[in-house]
Structure 1
Amino acid sequence: MKTWWPYVRLASAALGLAAVIAQLSLTVALAADNSTPWGSHLPTVWWNFFSFFTIDSNVIAAVSFIVAAIWGVRHRRDDEREPSWLAILLVCASTYMIVTGIVYNTLLRGIELPQGITVPWSNEVLHVVFPLILLLDVLFAPRRRALPWSTVFISAIFPLVWVAYTMIRANLVIAPATGEKWWYPYPFLNPQVIPGGYLGVSGYIIGIAIAIIGVACFVVWVGRRRAASVSSD
């Protein structure tokens, strides 16, 4: 498996990046056709696009897979385990992608998001296919390294920064699609529509934080179990 798994990662990364590019192309095309000053402002449209946790997670996962694939190809003839820095990167990418799949399919499927029209196949790749591939990578990728439980807290850094950034920036941006004086990437973060306002939003944030920590614990636990089983063979 160690000889061909890197190529699975490369193909998966290519699929994920293709999905990101397809959705970005449509989003930019829609902005170019928009007649309003806020809807046609491409810098804001670009910045908003890369402010979605889904997009960030898919890009992180694709880059992680490319890096891991290059390392795997270079070490295909030895039995060395993945280095700690790479193992941590993969834990973070896997956690974000699995949570993306869970949140989208439980909270957001069927709800129109503020980037406008989505590319159907791209949407499924970003929210279902690529997250499932990351889960399979956690369960079956060769040469897993056991990591300390502190890795869970490392994986929580980016989501915490993202939430803070999102909530601060939201009221500084005019929504391109509607002209509203705020822009939230996901409806469950928008105190204008969530019952209870910011209190209601905080409930969602706490729930998703619990999910991130729980998934990170699962990913680290699987890695530790798999590394231990290889050592005992």
Structure 2
Amino acid sequence: MTKLIAVTRLAAVTLGVVAIIATFADTATRATINPFNFFGFFTMQSNIIWLIVIAITGIVVLRGKKQTSLLLLARGCATAYMILVGVIYNALLAGQEGGVALEWANNVLHIILPIYAVLDWILFADRPPLAWKRLWVSLIYPMVWVVVVLIRGATDGWVPYPFFNPATGYGSVFAYVLAIAVLTVITAAVVWALSRLKLVKLEAKGDALRQVRR
């Protein structure tokens, strides 16, 4: 079962990598690619972060090794980011500019992998509860990303999503920044809570099995 979980994770990683490469190749046929723009989207970066983390997790599990506390924390954060990708895109950007032109790849990066990330976290409970005192770590990447986006928007004028466009007014922009920060904390808190809920269920199941064996 453990090997099957690891293989499933590596299959998801393969799908994600193929989707990103296909998107890059498709974009290159229509325009000259600026890598800072192509990889500047929250979707791309979050998917890459999650793919790297889940690939390492899959390899570690496949080799029968123990996941480190740092890797487990990274999994929790990456899962939260993937949930944000799915929620923000489907709530605000679906059908507008900001998606991936290649439809199947767009679905993989914005729908399929975010859903899989949640299911992986809930169903494959090979992790202990995440410490609440480390919840703040989940804010580091999104806030760094926002700062870079705001700097680029104010200098070279490039923004990854229309709601970050300075032309809409910085009041509106910072309202979205605050919303992203709050949504990140809420999403991460849900992920942190799920790490406890599943572990409790597993422990209860284990106790029941021990009683049956007696």
Letter in 1 for 2:58: A
Q: How do residues 1-233 of structure 1 correspond to structure 2 at under 5 angstroms?
A: 1-32=1-32, 42=33, 45-75=34-64, 82-113=67-98, 118-173=101-156, 182-192=157-167, 194=168, 197-232=169-204, 233=206
The 1-side partners of 2:68 and 2:122 are apart by 18
Q: Unpaired runs of 5+ in structure 2?
A: 207-214
TM-score when scaled to structure 2?
Answer: 0.90
TM-score when scaled to structure 1?
Answer: 0.83
The Cα of 1:214 is off from its aligned counterpart by 0.6
Q: Deviations over 1:141-184 (max 9, x none)?
A: 131211111232111100000000110022332xxxxxxxx111
Preserved CA contact (<8 Å) 1:84 1:145: no
Q: Unpaired runs of 5+ in structure 1?
A: 33-41, 174-181
Letter in 1 for 2:72: A
Secondary structure at the counterpart of residue 3 of structure 1: helix
The 2-side partners of 1:102 and 1:71 are apart by 29
> What's the % identity of the aligned pairs?
35
The 2-side partners of 1:228 and 1:87 are apart by 17
The 1-side partners of 2:68 and 2:126 are apart by 10
The 2-side partners of 1:144 and 1:183 are apart by 39
Secondary structure at the counterpart of residue 170 of structure 1: helix
Preserved CA contact (<8 Å) 2:85 2:114: yes
Letter in 1 for 2:85: T
Greater helix proportion? 2
**Bigger mean CA deviation after superposition, 103-112 or 201-210:** 201-210
The 2-side partners of 1:172 and 1:6 are apart by 44
Preserved CA contact (<8 Å) 1:94 1:138: yes
**Alignment RMSD:** 1.6
Preserved CA contact (<8 Å) 2:125 2:199: no
Preserved CA contact (<8 Å) 1:144 1:226: no
The 1-side partners of 2:155 and 2:35 are apart by 15
Q: How many residues align?
A: 205
Letter in 2 for 1:147: L
The Cα of 1:22 is off from its aligned counterpart by 1.1
The 2-side partners of 1:171 and 1:207 are apart by 20
The 2-side partners of 1:15 and 1:171 are apart by 35
Q: Deviations over 1:17-52 (max 9, x none)?
A: 1111111112222224xxxxxxxxx4xx11101110
The Cα of 1:191 is off from its aligned counterpart by 2.4
